[in-house]
Chain A
Amino acid sequence: MNPQAIGKPLTRIDGRAKVTGAARYAAEFNQPNQAYAVIVSSTIGLGRITGIDPAAEHLPGVLAIISHLNAPRLPYNPHKGGIDPSYGERLHVLQDDQVRFYGQPVALVVADTLVRAERAAAALRITYDAQHPIVGPRDKQAKPIAPEADGRLEADNVRGDPEAALASAAVAVDITSDIARQNHHPMEPHATIAAWDGDRLTLWSKSQFVANEQEEIAAVFGMAPENVQVICPFVGGAFGTSLRTWPHVTLAALAARQVGRPVKLALTRRQMSFTTGHRPRTLQRMALGATRDGRLTSIIHEGTGETSRYEQFIESLTSGTDFMYSCPNVRTRYRLVPLDTGTPTYMRGPGEASGMYALETALDELAYKLGIDPIELRRRNEPRIDESTNRPFSSRSLMACYDIGAERFGWAKRTPEPQSMRDGRLLIGMGTATATYPAMQFPASARARLLADGTAEIESAASDMGPGTYTSMTQVAADTLGIPVGRVRFSLGNSDFPPAPPHGGSQTMAAVGSAIRAACLAVQDLLVERAAANPRSPAHNMGKEALEWVDGHLRRKGGAASGQSYAEIVGAAGGVPVEATVSVARDPEIDNKYSMHAFGAVFVEVSVDPDVGIARVRRALGAYGAGRIVNPRLARSQCLGGMIGGIGMALMEHTSLDARDGRPVNAHMAEYLLPVNLDIPDLDVLFVDEVDPHVNPLGVKGLGEVSLVGMAPAIANAVFHATGRRIHELPIRIEHLLGV
């Protein structure tokens, strides 16, 4: 491959469609004769429905009011996609009178217009027998449990004797932290348009994982998956909330079947806080022991995450701790607290974002106790191999990230003492932290089709929620085929395409990119066969070994002639397009041989106004080692987004629940605070030139999650440096900093 497009800062191929409104999102695929469904959400946090007054049925335009009283029993066949919790059973909607959490769908109103559906939904009177829900992991009645073994995640690891090592450590820190529940709140709300044609169902539905949505809905309705098609060419942000298929998709399909018309169902912003997952609140203990010269002798990480009563949502809260630093005595333990809430789900940087907060703030505290620079402390504990598995890293550029990051950020100007830096009346602080996220790669497939005009069509049921999948995949296909990007058309977001893994876990580039590369290579092989079979072709009767592809032309190896173009080869065989569909999975041996992760070093400068206790990020820099960077412009943009997410996590985001009934009290954008433009300072992104020959043939690791992970601890560490006050709760609020 002769990279022409890969590595180039191309602008988004779909950018024009997005800014002109030509890009169509799920809720925009309006169908003829479409009706509208509105979910009625429970107003109690636990209990049962005792009655539903049918009077609203007679309001104008109402086509159906569906509840457990009249809903058909759905098969809900077993199905667990790669993103569903492996233990427990998904929420069944409108199947019984039980209310398991506040905001659970309890009825569905379908009407001929949205306004009429909303009016009838508001008029619907539902009575309940309410019980008191337990919604906080610190509630005395909340009981932690050990998660059922699920194979996806190794929690409860131990090496050495960490308790003894901690007890005898020359220097120790032992901290607890509490990170708030967060909701994803992307710009585009969840929406589904469902249309039945006999036994076939089409769903235009916001999804990061159309292949799973197809299978899940097929299982819920007891259908063959091939009778369900899910279409989602564009996603207006998701951050993980559209990985699973949530109840509203079932409800849209159910409503459409009941009223015999296509039905559109969009969640309100409020409902986005109820049934579509959230980052679980976590409670953590992190204890570190070290020698006087800063070698770690003990790490104990005990993490607890909230989950629902009906499913065990597990995230990699403690995973980073297992291998991040060199230490002979390490114990990690993970517990769940089942609560009367909906099931949490993956949210950008799941697990690591929260777990690394505990590790990196503890390490910062240790640095102060030891009087060692925080970067130097990390350097002294940099492992040579992954000590939890005794495998080498496929590549690890953490120290290179610290080196280039510290240099560009101006870390040397930091004076180590807390409260030692000022700008007028403002206290200034600088903090740093490590970021990491595993380099995953699930099996993926893609189809490449060469047309008679010499252009290529590439298809995969992948998703582009914003990182630039459309563009980067086009770059991979163009370079593999040796043609300009303008001759490649890449389509995604359709379950009729070859299946792709969830658009999450920072693996789209690795998984789908590898599949596209393989499909392009496979189609080239087919073209070689065609050319060889053609008596008029210069490649007639020649084997693959004697031929080579150069700039989109097939020619004799070392030959002088320019060879045959794609158009010529396809054209010579009557113009019938040539296509290949290929599935690619990572060689399982690679997983056994290497520990594979992206790493980063994050630097933050904050100011704290001591009079009013407000902390603001003044500038931040992330330096990442994430393998090959396919498109530096989009990679930078993706990192900026992750860093902004980290600012939100550190200083603003918090879904606050009313302890009486579990109601999210800030289920709207006026009070669920996200960073706005003025909150975002000067952000900088650097990439280490990292070559990873092992991780996958493209040498890519992914950036979506790692760019969020280190931000919150770096901010908290900077706040400590500015104020001398260590805050163990996220988000850091003004109340925490008054009187510094």
Chain B
Amino acid sequence: MRYEKPTTVEAATALLAGQGARVLAGGTDLLVQMRSRVLSPDVLVDIKGIDATRKITKDASGYTIGAAVTGAELKEHPTLSKDWPGLVEAANLIGSTQVQGRCSLGGNLCNGSPAADSVPGMIAAGAVATIAGPKGTRTLPVEDIMLAPRKLALTAGEFIVSFKIPARPAHGGDAYLRFIPRTEMDIAVVGCGVALALDAGGTCTAARVSLGAVAARPLLVEDGAKALIGTKVDDAALAKLEAAVRAACKPIDDKRGTVEFRIDVAGTLAKRTAKIALERARKV
């Protein structure tokens, strides 16, 4: 096995185009999987030497967050938590303090687990990935990247350099909640991200609802958004949201939760998440 730490995007894509190459970001998934021999890459391409993967920049159009920025760094950013608290909270739920010092948004997404915590947060926020590959750079909304467990829309040699998060709307708020049997350090049985925007009168003008761990991939629930848009996010709208979310779930039975239970909890969680997002949107 070889370890490489390129400093340019081009060098990285060239290495990644080779046989058995794999991106290394924080390694909190990859190294665990290598230890248990789920994965045995020939070349580890550490992307943390590439400047663009490691920084957060802000301009009028929003934020650009490097794919290898750690959870702890997201939290420390002076304005990100104010603008997108749900997204940062989702990323900060990953693991423990130790894991937070290493784990990244790129790794969380590209590990390809339907239960990844930050992914519904990113999808709700409308994050778009910037993907570099041997043929150049392209962009793809986060909800289109994961196709099935461990299966991504990235092709050979491609990796995610950064995520573009739009500027927060004037009266916008987001939130992420997950449901776990234990109180901390557990894998989501259901995760839900909601972002919404209000007009000056408090009517919802835009919304995005995303679910994790209830299907083979994280979901963008269009009907959930429709349930909220045009309403004051009152109880009737929340009831519609709950129904839409339940309808969207296609979970599996596993040792962490049964189908019925996941569907049931997803609806409840979506309502709770939407209420927090609403509170936040009203306050700004």
| Chain B residues within 8 Å of A665, by CB | 255
Interface residue from B183, B265, B268 paired with A679 (Cβ < 8 Å): B183
| Chain B residues within 8 Å of A666, by CB | 255
Q: A591-618: contact bitstring with B at CB < 8 Å (1 yes, 0 no)? A: 0000000000000000000011110100
**Size bracket, chain A contacts:** 20 to 34
Interface residue from A611, A678, A734, A739 paired with B181 (Cβ < 8 Å): A734
CB-based nearest A residue for B40:
A122
Q: A412 at the A/B interface (Cβ < 8 Å)?
A: no
CA distance A670 to B153 in the complex (A): 28
| Chain B residues within 8 Å of A537, by CB | none
CB-based nearest B residue for A675:
B182
| Chain B residues within 8 Å of A738, by CB | 260-261, 264
Cβ of B144 to closest chain A Cβ, rounded Å = 28
**A612-B265, A612-B269, A738-B264 given as contacts; is B257 within 8 A of A673 (CB)?**
no
Q: B88-119: contact bitstring with A at CB < 8 Å (1 yes, 0 no)? A: 00000000000000000000000000000000
| Chain A residues within 8 Å of B182, by CB | 652, 673, 675-676, 678-679
- Among A671, A676, A733, A734, max chain B CB count under 10 A is at A734
**A735-B257, A738-B261 given as contacts; is B268 within 8 A of A676 (CB)?**
no
Q: Enumerate B246-274 residues with CB–CB distance to A below 8 Å.
A: 255-258, 260-261, 264-265, 268-269
CA distance A666 to B264 in the complex (A): 24
Q: Enumerate A684-740 residues with CB–CB distance to B below 8 Å.
A: 733-735, 738-739
**A671-B256, A738-B260 given as contacts; is B181 within 8 A of A652 (CB)?**
yes
CB-based nearest B residue for A121:
B37
Q: Are A673 and B184 in contact (CB under 8 A)?
A: no
**A612-B269, A666-B255 given as contacts; is B261 within 8 A of A676 (CB)?**
no
Q: Are A671 and B255 in contact (CB under 8 A)?
A: yes
Q: B186 at the A/B interface (Cβ < 8 Å)?
A: yes
Q: Are A612 and B257 in contact (CB under 8 A)?
A: no
Q: Are B184 and A678 in contact (CB under 8 A)?
A: yes
Q: Are A734 and B268 in contact (CB under 8 A)?
A: no
Q: A656 at the A/B interface (Cβ < 8 Å)?
A: yes
**A734-B261, A735-B261 given as contacts; is B185 within 8 A of A676 (CB)?**
yes
Cβ of B228 to closest chain A Cβ, rounded Å = 20
Q: Are A612 and B268 in contact (CB under 8 A)?
A: yes
Q: A677 at the A/B interface (Cβ < 8 Å)?
A: yes
| Chain B residues within 8 Å of A734, by CB | 181, 189, 257, 261, 265
CA distance A734 to B269 in the complex (A): 14
**A122-B37, A735-B261, A738-B264 given as contacts; is B184 within 8 A of A612 (CB)?**
no
| Chain B residues within 8 Å of A678, by CB | 182-184
Spell out B's residues near A (CB within 8 Å). Answer: 37, 179, 181-187, 189, 255-258, 260-261, 264-265, 268-269
6 contacts between A and B (CB under 8 A): A652-B182, A671-B255, A676-B183, A676-B185, A678-B183, A739-B264
New A-B contacts (6) at CB < 8 Å, excluding given A673-B182, A678-B182, A678-B183: A613-B261, A614-B181, A616-B183, A652-B181, A735-B258, A738-B264
The 9 closest A-B pairs by CB, nearest first: A678-B183, A611-B268, A678-B184, A679-B183, A612-B265, A676-B185, A735-B261, A656-B255, A676-B184
